[in-house]
Chains A and B, each alone.
Chain A
Amino acid sequence: MEQLIIAIVVLSSVISVIATGFAAAWAEKHIGSAAVGAITEKEELFSKGLVLTVIPETIVIFGLTVSLVLLFVVLPQLL
């Protein structure tokens, strides 16, 4: 039983990082190509483009936090 719980929690934390990673990557792909498009024509948009590109990284940060909480907060309580 204990092993099952560990397995499920670890799996959940893995999924939360992987899924949010993919999500952030997908969003960044689009924003990034848009930013590159704008920067090619107007160099002064470089900084704005860069900042806009990292915006979806929040998603994966949430994922990382969830997985950390699962591993180090939730898991010890379940055991």
Chain B
Amino acid sequence: MNSNVRMTKIVLVGTKDNMKETIDILHSLKIIHIIDFKEHDETFEVGKSLGEVAIFSELLISIRSLLHKFDNGLGNIKATYTKSEVSRNLEKEVFETENIIKGYSEKIGKIDSVLKEIENIESIGELKGIGIEKKIISSVNNLISSKSQLEAYRTELKDQMDAIIEQESIHLLQYEDFLSNEIEKMEAPLRFTTTKNTFLIEGWIPENKYQDIKSILKKKFNNRVTIDKVKFSHNEDVPIEFKHPIPIKPFELLLELFEYPKTKEIDPTFAIFITFPLFYGIMLGDIGYGLTIFFTSLFMKTKFKTEGWGMILGILEYSSLYTIIFGIIYGEFFGFGIFHFLGIDKIFGLQMPVLNRITDFMPIMILSMAIGIFHILLGLSFGFINHYRNHNLKKAILEKGSWIMLIFSIIFLTINIYMSGPFFYIGISLFLTSIILLIIGEGFIGLIHIFSLMSNILSYLRLMAIGLSSVGIAIVINSIVTKVIFPKGGVFILLGYIVLIGGHMGNILLGIIASFLHALRLHYVEFFTKFYEGGGVKYKPFGT
């Protein structure tokens, strides 16, 4: 069940004169996840930045401030400069641009204050009749009438300034990228432990990359920089890198939104892959809505190509497939009874639709509860395994096993009502055992948690309820259009179609969001609380 890349903890030690080269190598390899150095004392302290970092920082501040003045999102342009090229031209160019822009800003600022004064003079009002010489009055009026000219000049200057920044912006962006990269390398020692003559890097690398990096370092430095595996306990925050098969990959997002799993925890991504779209489908369940969402997400995948969007759209695609499947089961197409409409009664001897959400809400309710019980049992078993791995069997049985038994006892007692057999005795003995274990494990407070378990299970009723409200809205839209608007004829036919399309668009949007959130909630609140601790660290190698 553990689908993470195996990590190993390493310590890299070298003499300070080789530090710069080591950083360059590590930066280009992009495999080491550095642990920042925290405690410091007399002998060990944080390292100092290397090289021309002060100048670079100053340049970067200037560049960013220039880009800040002109902000229209030019996107990411990758720097393709070699270092020597850049350091020759960059400084001059940046400061030149900065000076030009500064000149413009000063001019604009002066015009601004002149304009402000003119406005003040304007607000004084008429100057006639208070005994001022005509010549003076006319010169004041002249001043006021020059306002529009000044304003025009100001806009001209602003346009010129923008044009210059725009022209330079590609260069500036490249420089920014280059400088940030260089500074990341130069500042890397701030994350290392150093003594007077040596430096030490603690970090994590994937286990299978260890030999590679060791031989690279050996070749380059002989023995002046060495790397070694060190022992680590599983209480440490081992960074997590998933290696899921591609179909499951999008669902990592749902973990990322919550918290990364700890090292020895069960990774629930696969379980989410199964249940999340299922819940989504049960709630939305409509052939028309499912198709709409499916094709919309396919289309949007071509437009939004970032990783995050890809994941969300991927999840929506799976979910829409389940939506279509449940749409067939419910026999709904945009809220219309499709089988009734087509005159199909039976398929393969099965009464169609299999379930009608409005009239058969009781079976769906029971189904929801059953799914809930199953889901919570799954969560509890994960919790059992986690406890067993991280602590011991006793704790696992007391804290998770007791709950599992409790749920089973309730199942047996329920079966007892409908069937004869020894179910009652099995149920009651399981019930008593679980209560005793519970009290030993969690104390009497544990008994109160029985109520939260109940509310957890009842919470799965939303699988029925959300769907019911969604289909309710769809049916209302349909009947307004077909029974109220269409019969009026004429222009109203057109209006009817507008209402139909608009209404269903709104309902789809609502359905996408509500089903997504509630499916998510069932996982985060009901499922995860049974086993998931989280708080793991994502694997983020140096140089990415």
Q: Which residues of A contact B458 (CB under 8 A)?
A: 62, 65
Interface string of A22-53 (1 = CB under 8 A from B): 00000000000000000000000001101100
Residue contact B521 to A54, C-beta cutoff 8 Å:
yes
Tell me whether A73 is interfacial, beta carbon within 8 Å: yes
* Complex: chain A residue closest to B456, CB-CB: A58
Tell me whether A15 is interfacial, beta carbon within 8 Å: no
Distance, CA A48 to CA B257, complexed state (A): 7
Report which residue of A48, A57, A61, A64 has the largest number of chain B beta carbons within 10 angstroms of its beta carbon.
A61
Q: Which residues of B contact A55 (CB under 8 A)?
A: 521, 525
Given A72-B362, A73-B362: A54 and B518 interface contact (C-beta under 8 Å): yes
Interface string of B441-452 (1 = CB under 8 A from A): 000000000000
- Stretch from B62-70, B316-324, B372-380, B459-467 forming part of the interface with A: B459-467
* CB < 8 Å neighbour of A50 from B466, B517, B525: B517
Instruction: Number of B interface residues at 8 Å Cβ cutoff, please give it.
Output: 21
Residue contact A51 to B521, C-beta cutoff 8 Å:
yes
CB distance from B516 to the nearest CB of A (A): 9
Tell me whether B497 is interfacial, beta carbon within 8 Å: no
* CB < 8 Å neighbour of A61 from B362, B461, B520, B524: B461
Residue contact B465 to A64, C-beta cutoff 8 Å:
yes
* Complex: chain B residue closest to A53, CB-CB: B517
Q: Which residues of A contact B466 (CB under 8 A)?
A: 61
Distance, CA A35 to CA B469, complexed state (A): 25
Residue contact B455 to A58, C-beta cutoff 8 Å:
yes
CB distance from A31 to the nearest CB of B (A): 13
* CB < 8 Å neighbour of B361 from A50, A58, A68: A68
Distance, CA A48 to CA B528, complexed state (A): 14
* CB < 8 Å neighbour of A51 from B455, B459, B524: B524
Interface string of A53-79 (1 = CB under 8 A from B): 011011001101100100011000000
Distance, CA A14 to CA B520, complexed state (A): 29
Q: Which residues of B contact A58 (CB under 8 A)?
A: 455, 459, 462
Given A61-B462, A65-B461, A65-B465: A54 and B361 interface contact (C-beta under 8 Å): no
Residue contact A51 to B362, C-beta cutoff 8 Å:
no
Residue contact A65 to B365, C-beta cutoff 8 Å:
yes
Residues from 512 to 529 in B contacting A, C-beta threshold 8 Å:
517-518, 520-521, 524-525
Distance, CA A64 to CA B459, complexed state (A): 12
Q: Which residues of B contact A62 (CB under 8 A)?
A: 458, 461
CB distance from B188 to the nearest CB of A (A): 25
Distance, CA A57 to CA B459, complexed state (A): 10
Q: Which residues of A contact B361 (CB under 8 A)?
A: 68, 72
Residue contact A61 to B465, C-beta cutoff 8 Å:
yes
Distance, CA A74 to CA B216, complexed state (A): 77
Distance, CA A62 to CA B365, complexed state (A): 12
Q: Which residues of A contact B469 (CB under 8 A)?
A: 64
Q: Which residues of B contact A48 (CB under 8 A)?
A: 257-258
Distance, CA A67 to CA B525, complexed state (A): 25
CB distance from B415 to the nearest CB of A (A): 20
Cβ contacts A to B, 10 pairs, < 8 Å: A48-B257, A48-B258, A51-B520, A54-B518, A57-B518, A58-B455, A58-B459, A58-B462, A68-B361, A72-B362
In the A-B complex, the 9 residue pairs with the closest CB atoms: A47-B257, A61-B465, A61-B462, A54-B517, A64-B465, A65-B461, A58-B459, A51-B521, A51-B520
Given A54-B518, A58-B462, A68-B361, list of 19 further CB < 8 A pairs?
A: A47-B257, A48-B257, A50-B517, A51-B520, A51-B521, A51-B524, A54-B521, A55-B521, A55-B525, A57-B518, A61-B465, A62-B458, A62-B461, A64-B468, A64-B469, A65-B465, A68-B365, A68-B468, A73-B362
